[in-house]
Amino acid sequence: MVTFVRAASLTNFSELFSELGGDPDAALRRAGLRPSMVSEQDQLIDVLVAGRLLEDAAAATGCTNFGLRMAQSRQVSNFGIVSLLLLHQPTLRKVLSTLIEHVHLLNESLMIHMDEENGVVVLREEFTLPENFPQSMELAIGVLFRTCNLLMHERWRPQRVCFSHTTPRDISLHKQMFGCRVEFDADFNGIVFRTEDLDAHNPMADPVLVRYAQSIVDATQQGRQASIAQRVRKAIYLMLPSGNATCICVAQGLGRSVRTLQRELDGEGFSFTDLLVEVRYDLAQRYVRNPEYSVGQIASMLGYNSHSAFTRWFSTLFDCPPEVWREKNLPPGKLQRTEAINRA
């Protein structure tokens, strides 16, 4: 299933790629994109194409923080019409809940989830994609950080920022930009901050402008409502690692009964089981490619009670055990690192 992202996600790509000595127009054409498309902010492009473009750019320029450097120049206005809706909300809590509700208008494969517990907020971001795109994730979290920081007039001080990918060669920009502890090889991608920050007043709050912006957004998103299958898929991505990706839990999270959810999925030609298998398939590849995860950890993260049950499922789909698949699909350097971790 093809998912799309606004071309605004590539804002500053050409300038940065050129600054690093590359030819941005040639890179865009190799990706199958018109160079002029980058300036057409509301144009929709394939998320996988955009993700691979950033990974290729980082590899070609040797810039391991390419995505984060793109995020440095982002403004709330890059969200297009959704920016009006965000700018004038009364609190950060309302800004984030509004962003979560409308994120599909910006990137159909991106999901944002907010949990509050014991005075701490965990703001998670994940892509519902079969491939791992560290540059896209650093761009997404960098943009989310800048959005919150700009709206709070740079008074926002998170406790930590987390990335599930391995530590880049140079993390000086990460430390400078976030100003807090930065963790790599984490269990999730996201930002952790104090609950009290959620209710900080936004000095730009204006209920009249919010109502006006909402009317425009409602008109704009006609025909672009996230399908129930997309919403269920995103919920499974979020709930699977915690063991809560059951039909009952997903239905409750979406405010529906199990019977209603099943009927709506059937109307779109899907079943809950189909989507669960699809997400497990995508995440299995992503996790096995990560040398930091043991097969036992991956089995648990995908909802299996035992290493052997996961191995049987994986072998049925991929024609080999996960350890063998990892050997075939990891570059030599990463494979050696995995072996060292397993020996330790």
pLDDT tens for residues 125-155?
999 887 889 999 999 999 999 999 888 776 7
What confidence score (pLDDT) does residue 329 get? 84
| Range picked from 152-161, 207-216, 264-273 for highest mean pLDDT | 264-273
Give the residues across from 117 on adjacent strands.
Answer: 120
Which of 148-152, 180-184, 224-228, 325-329 bottoms out in mean pLDDT, i.e. has the lowest?
224-228
Contact 279, 236 (CB under 8 A): yes
**Token pair in block for residue 180:** 């807090």
Prediction pTM value: 0.78
74-132 pLDDT, tens per residue? 888 889 888 888 989 999 999 999 999 889 889 989 989 888 889 999 999 999 887 88
The beta-strand segments (E) located in the chain are: 4-6, 44-46, 110-117, 120-127, 160-162, 181-183, 190-194
CA distance 127 to 50: 13
Domains (range + CATH), the chain:
66-199 (no CATH), 228-343 (1.10.10.60)
Q: Cα 168 from chain centroid?
A: 18
Residue 291 has pLDDT above 70, yes or no: yes
Q: Nearest Cα to 234, choosing from 250, 258, 246, 256? A: 250
**Residue in this structure with the two tokens 């994940």, named with its chain if needed:** 126
Q: How far apart are CA 336 and CA 330, in angstroms?
A: 9
pLDDT interval class at 261 (50, 70, 90)? very high
